[in-house]
Amino acid sequence: MAGVSRGHHGRTPAAWTGVLIAFIGICVSSAYTVMAQPAGFWAGIGISVVGGLVGLGMRMAGLGMPKEPSALVEARTAAGRAQLR
């Protein structure tokens, strides 16, 4: 199963944007932790949360991976079980 490609695997504008903003927030939070500044630390945590919300909003706007129909998921699961037998 490791060699089987399953779509974009998070390579979407929503995923990249959300992760980039969260990474910046973690960097800010880390810098202020070293400087012993609690307000800056919490600001960095807030930026990270905003990154998650931006990614979620972009996904809801259609810039993320499309959801698979449940019938497709069930068919893939059944095919995988059939290969194991």
| 18 occurs within a structural domain | yes
Number of structural domains found in the chain:
1
| 8 occurs within a structural domain | no
What pLDDT was estimated at residue 34?
A: 97
| 4 occurs within a structural domain | no
What pLDDT was estimated at residue 41?
A: 97
| 7 occurs within a structural domain | no
Maximum alpha-carbon separation in the chain: 59
Full-prediction pTM beyond 0.75?
Answer: no
| 2 occurs within a structural domain | no
| 1 occurs within a structural domain | no
| 49 occurs within a structural domain | yes
The per-residue pLDDT string of the chain (85 residues; one tens digit each, 9 = 90 and over) reads 444 455 556 788 999 999 999 999 999 999 999 999 999 999 999 999 999 999 999 988 988 877 777 788 788 888 888 887 7
- Residues of the domain holding 25: 13-84
Rounded to 5, what percent of the chain is helix, strand, coil?
A: 75, 0, 25
| 25 occurs within a structural domain | yes
